[in-house]
Amino acid sequence: MMNSKSLVHIENVSKFYGDLKALDNVSLDIHEGETVVIIGPSGSGKSTLLRSINKLETIDAGKVIIDGVDIYDEATDINKVREEVGMVFQSFNVFPHKTVMENLNLAQTVVRKRTAEEATGISKKLLEKVGIFEKADEYPGKLSGGQQQRVAIARALAMTPKIMLFDEPTSALDPEMIGEVLDVMTKLAKEGMTMVVVTHEMGFAREVADRIIFMDHGAVVEQGTPDEFFDHTENDRAKLFLSQIL
Amino acid sequence: MPMSGSAEKPKKVEISEGGAIPKKDDVGLFTAWRVAFVGAISIIIALVYFKPEPYFDIIKFLPDGIYVTFKVTIASILLSLVFGLIAGLGRISQNMFINGIASLYVEIIRGIPLLVQLFYIYFALGKFVKLPAEVCAIIAMSICYGAYMAEIFRAGIDAIPKGQTEAARSLGMTSSQTTKHVILPQAVKTILPPVGNEFIALLKDSSLVSILAVSDLLRRGREYASESFDYFETYTMVALIYLVITLILSKLVGIMEDKISDDE
Ligand SMILES: Nc1ncnc2c1ncn2[C@@H]1O[C@H](COP(=O)(O)OP(=O)(O)OP(=O)(O)O)[C@@H](O)[C@H]1O
Ligand SMILES: [Mg+2]
């Protein structure tokens, strides 16, 4: 796995909010086909790091290279990069004024310039994959949280991205709906999608992650395989964190 | 930590001036609308029927003015929507220059009474360019109401959760694609009620243009009254006609709102 190509290369990235160091000299590589799970206490910079991978945040120092493209370079067309980087948010952010099918088709037609038929064909397959094919013509307001989040995942996948980012995709869900979303993500990981997932679902992390990244105070403090991290970490902060959540 | 299980809903924009818009669920207002409308129509009919002298003469004299009032109102509404949208988008622009210009426009215009603006454009600027009174009236009304509309557009767009923009941008949509496909269609729903209020307020304020010798409804009334000396009868009729028009307009706006909110 580690010999495969580096899709995301993060090099010495720092970011400040005023005096607060939200990211502290973070360096990280994410390889093709890898599932990386980022964990850490609240406020440790997980979202900020994830959002710097598709430039939803600005950074104050360092570099982010995606598939060979320096995304913070002035000359880079960030919209081209974002086509290849799907993102799923804690609050779903589905488009409430569009049906499920239209949610999936919008960026495909507007950004990828696919024809309506092409887009619909792709959307149908994805809706089937995430298990909400029968909801294609509903508006999101009629769907449960778990269903909306699966729409959001399918919408991101419809762009055929090279990498998917997930920022606490199940944190806003009622407990009984968490499983259906995690199942979809597990399936994706097994199919070889490159994924970066911020989550508090330790079961998922242990089972699906190739690598765990532990962050604290804006820095990557520890990383390793789930086995190394959960059972054999020597890092005090990581141990403290694990003792609090497990 | 878990938030509610459903998607974020845009907040309601609560800005209200001008006539109240009857909604089905507001029973009190709905009945008041009916009473006022039926009452006004009945009184007009009764007056014309029982006292055709002078009421029938008055009502024959006024339609030209109603036509001009409509013309000025509709032209001003359309133009002010354009000004409002441009300035509203300017007000939320990241570009400091555009933002500054738009904010300045809104602040200045909202700080000057419409009547003064009318005078200014017609008489003061008339020193340099002489435009027909009606054109000046439409320009002044549109500039003025454009500034009000801009604030409504800005508030309506601000009320759309930031996550919507982030989701669209994360899919590779440009800022203008996001505005067009994601933000504006959602903002329309929150914007429509206050914009409807502005339409009604604008219609009523259009009576101010009579001061520029534009022969609108009020001006025609004045012309009739000053010749016949039937001040009481004429202005009663003018007031009733304004009332009927305003009530019809507020009804139409109400219907339009219901349509849009059912549309889901
Ligand atoms: N827009 C902002 N303005 C100021 N400070 C911010 C802003 N966004 C984040 N921060 C701060 O930056 C730090 C990192 O935030 P971030 O959201 O990345 O943490 P997180 O690890 O994702 O936390 P959580 O688990 O609560 O989501 C926090 O201290 C947060 O308060
Ligand atoms: Mg976070």
| CA gap A170, B21 in Å, rounded | 42
Closest residue to B173, CB basis, from A87, A94, A110: A110
The whole-model pTM stands at 0.83
Q: Distances in Å between the alpha carbon of B184 and those of A153, B181, B242?
A: 24, 7, 33
Distance from C-alpha of A86 to C-alpha of B174, rounded to nearest angstrom: 15
Q: Which residue has the tokens 């994706």?
A: A188
Min CA distance, A113 vs chain B (Å)?
11
Candidates A144, A152, A207, A201; CA nearest to A173 is A144
Which of B8, B168, B264 minimises the CB distance to A91?
B8
How many Å from the N-terminal Cα to the C-terminal Cα in chain B? 30
Residue with tokens 């160091």: A21
Interface contact A240, partner B, CB < 8 A: no
- And the tokens for A40? 């850490």
Residue A62: CA atoms inside 13 Å, Cβ hemisphere, count? Answer: 23
Element (H, E) at B121: none
Q: CB of B126 within 8 Å of any CB in chain A?
A: no
Nearest ligand, CA A56: 1
A213 φ, ψ to 5°?
A: -110, 125
Q: Which two tokens stand for residue A243?
A: 């003792």
Name residue A197's beta-bridge partners.
Answer: A37, A166
Q: Which chain B residues are Cβ-neighbours of A92 within 8 angstroms? A: 7, 163
Q: What is the mean pLDDT of residues B125-136?
A: 89
Cα–chain-centroid distance for residue A167?
Answer: 5
Distance CA B77, CA B138 (A): 9
How sure is the predictor about B242, in pLDDT bands with cuts at 50, 70 and 90? very high
Over residues B34-86, the pLDDT tens digits come to 999 999 999 999 999 999 889 999 999 999 999 999 999 999 999 999 999 99
Q: Coil, strand or helix: which one is B218? A: helix
Distances in Å between the alpha carbon of A56 and those of A87, A229, A238, B127?
Answer: 10, 29, 28, 52
What are φ and ψ of residue A54, in 5° steps? -120, 20
Q: What pLDDT score was predicted for residue B14? A: 55
CA distance A221 to B45: 84
Residue B37 has a CB neighbour count (10 Å cut-off) of 18
CA distance A210 to A186: 12
Helix (H, G, I), strand (E, B) or coil at B150: helix
- Whether the Cβ atoms of residue B236 and residue B54 lie closer than 8 Å to each other: no
pLDDT tens-place string over residues A10-32: 999 999 999 999 999 999 999 99
Residue with the two structure tokens 């929507």:
B81
Q: Which long-range contacts (CB under 8 A, 24 or more apart) does B94-100 make?
A: none
What is residue B189's predicted lDDT score, i.e. its pLDDT? 85
Provide the shortest C-alpha distance from residue A2 to chain B (in Å): 27
Distance of CA B211 to the CA centre of its chain: 20
What CA–CA distances, in Å, run from A136 to A96, A127, A158? 13, 7, 14
Those residues of chain A that have pLDDT short of 70 are 1-3
Residue B6 has a pLDDT of 47
Residue A236 contacts residue A244 (beta carbons within 8 Å)? no
Cβ of B161 within 8 Å of Cβ of A93? The answer is yes
Pocket of ligand 1 (CB under 6 A): A 17, 20, 22, 40, 42-48
ipTM above 0.85, yes or no: yes
pLDDT of residue B3: 42
Q: Tell me the per-residue pLDDT of A62-79, one tens digit each, with 9 for 90 and over.
A: 999 999 999 999 999 999
Say which residue the tokens 């500054």 belong to. B100
